[in-house]
Structures are given as C-alpha cells and as structure tokens.
Homo-oligomer: A and B are copies of this chain.
Amino acid sequence: MVEAKVKKSEALDPDFSNLRPIDFRSDNVASVSPEILAAMVEANSGTAGSYGDDEFSRGLDERFGALFETKVTVFPIATGTAANALSLSALTPPYGAIYCCSAAHIHTSEAGATELLTGGAKLVPLQGEGFRFQADALAHAIANAGIGITNRSQPAAVSVTQATEFGTLYRLDELAAIGEVARANRLRFHMDGARFANALAALDCSPAAMTWRSGIDILSFGATKNGGLNTDCIVVFNPDIVEDLAFRIRRSGHTWSKMRFSAAQLLAYVENDLFLKSARRANALAAMIAAKVRDCPDITLVAPVEANEVFLDLPEMMIDCLIKNRIQFLRRGPRLIRLVCRFDGNEREIDRLIAVLKQCE
C-alpha cells in the first residue's frame, strides 16, 4: 500500500501521551456493525451464481424498493468515489456540465474520478450559504451556460451532497426546488449520499421524500461511513439510466464476481433500520459537542451542526493542546478543525473531548 507514503498525512498523531486517543478523524475510521459482519459470515454457504446471480443480490432491488417506496435498481459499489463518478457518467455526455457546490467532494476530493469516468465532462461549482447551493444559483448558471453553443460545456446534470461536506443539510423544499430547475432544463439530478443515513435521521423524513420525490434520478447510497465494511451502492430511480450504467460499472472494474458478500452487507445495513439507528447515534454525539462548545468563548462553530460533523474555529494554541491530549481530528486550516462522530462512538468520548477543550482554553 502506497497511500501512507504518497499521501502527506493530514491527520495529526500525538506521540507524547500515554492516554488512549479519541478518534474524531472521520467516520470511516470506525468499526463495522456486528450485524453486517454476521451477515457476511452467514452468506458464506455453498456455491452461488456470480456477478449478481445469487439470492442476496437478487433481493436488493426489492428490499431497497420497499425502503424507497418505488421501483429501484441497486448496484453494489466498492467506494463512494466510484458510486459518484459512475452515477454521473450515466447522466452526461462527455461535453456536458455538471453543477455542484464549490465544496463538493466530487469536485475537490475525488482525484478527477468524475472527469475520468465521464470522458471529460466539466464540474461547474456553485456558491451558496452553509456549504450548499440553492435552486436560484443553479437556474442562473444554466441561463448563462450557452445551451446549444458548441464551444460551451452543455448543462447535463446537477449533484448535491446530503449531508454536505460540512455536515449541513438541504431541506426537502430546497431539494425539490433544485429538482424542479433540473427537470425544467432537462438536467438529471444526482445525490451524493455518503452520509445519507445521517441526513435522513436528522431530517426525520422518508427515504422517498429525500430522493425521488424531490426529483433525484440517482443516488450514491453510502454505508461504509456508518458501520458498513467495504460496500456502498448506487440506487437508480430513473429507469432510463439503468442499462447504460450497468455497462459502465462493469467496464470500470466495479462489478464483483462474489457479489453475494457485498449484497449481504447492504441488506444487513438496512435491516431493522440498522442504518438509521447508527446514524442517530453519531448525530446525537455531534449535537452534544455543538451544545457544549457554545459555552467556550474562544471556539466558534463554523457551520451549523446538523448531522455528525463538527467544524470548529479555535486558536492554534488550543489545537496544539488538543493534539497533546490525544484528541484525533483533521486540520482544515490554521484555526479550523473537523471532528466527525462515529456510529460506534460514545458519550464518554464526548465528555473527555469537552473536558480537554475546557482545560486547553
């Protein structure tokens, strides 16, 4: 593995303390839900057809169809980056423009995966408050895009991240308004749901309401950050996309032969609302942090805490003090840190974080 070598570590790792570290670096540092591992073990029985021709994989469409209250097609995918870029590859011609927030993960942190898998489409960043963009920004951009002018990238798709990269949320009416602009201009609508469950738990609405009822054509449905193992999936609402997408997924090397083990993860993830329970726990821990840091005069919440992420502005000296006390997090600027709460975190961790924060003031 070259990652540890090529990647300059963004994470700060204290080494002069004998405390056990508390890990707020990301939700992908978490463990796997026992239910999910158990389901994989259970799936390991006898032979099964490959490439999705097994009982687990065959059950996905129906199970997720019930969850989303509509007919869907589900494709298990190894990573969120792949789920996003592949989804978008089915929504745009190579000369298309894809609108997204300027802070969107697809634009800033996926190494150009979308550009690769779309054959060179253009991500066009939009601005907005709370690290989101609104329908009017999209409408304005489309109006100035030069539709039909051959030297301009042609509006083809729009993507929102829900919950956003800064832990904020789109309200249902905001999503629906974006969906309306998309439909009126014949753009397709993608949702990057790396933290879909966290958003759903926070909004306390139905999966249908937050997706296809708001105009979403295709969803990157994240599981890994919320107790999954190594499988997210694409959920397709718009049937026109399905066949083309199936070829693109296979062609990018994202169709597992022993698909049952990936399907089993996903089935267990939604069984008995496991995904919602896990997300609620992580969200609640983030809310605890937010509530408590409001008392700290030197600390500012950079974004409203609506899901499981907390962005704090605080003095560099405090940041150093946190590190010395083995609080793990990502640094996003000289005074900016990100804390992510995990489904497998607990209140003691939050208590200790707050205690350290107060002590560092």
Known contacts A147-B8, A251-B113; is-contact A1 B50 (Cβ 8 Å): no
Chain B residues near A73 (CB, 8 Å)? 1-2
A294–B82 CA distance with the chains assembled, in angstroms: 48
Within 8 Å by CB of A82, from B44, B50, B74, B254, lies B254
Q: Is A28 an interface residue (CB 8 A)?
A: yes
Question: Do the beta carbons of A115 and B121 come within 8 Å of each other?
Answer: yes
**Chain A positions 82 through 94: 1 when the CB is less than 8 Å from some CB of chain B, otherwise 0:** 1111100000011
- When C-beta atoms are compared, the residue in chain B nearest to A262 turns out to be B230
Q: Is A23 an interface residue (CB 8 A)?
A: yes
- Copies of this chain in the oligomer: 4
A to B CB contacts below 8 Å, 29 in the list:
A2-B52, A2-B246, A3-B57, A4-B52, A4-B57, A6-B246, A7-B149, A7-B150, A26-B257, A28-B257, A31-B45, A31-B46, A51-B150, A79-B254, A84-B253, A94-B251, A95-B111, A95-B112, A95-B247, A110-B253, A111-B153, A112-B121, A112-B153, A113-B250, A116-B252, A119-B120, A120-B120, A224-B256, A252-B253
Q: Give chain A's interface residues, CB within 8 Å of chain B.
A: 1-4, 6-11, 23, 25-26, 28-32, 34, 37, 40-41, 44-53, 57-58, 60-61, 73-86, 93-95, 108-113, 115-122, 146-154, 224-225, 228-231, 242-259, 261-263, 342, 344
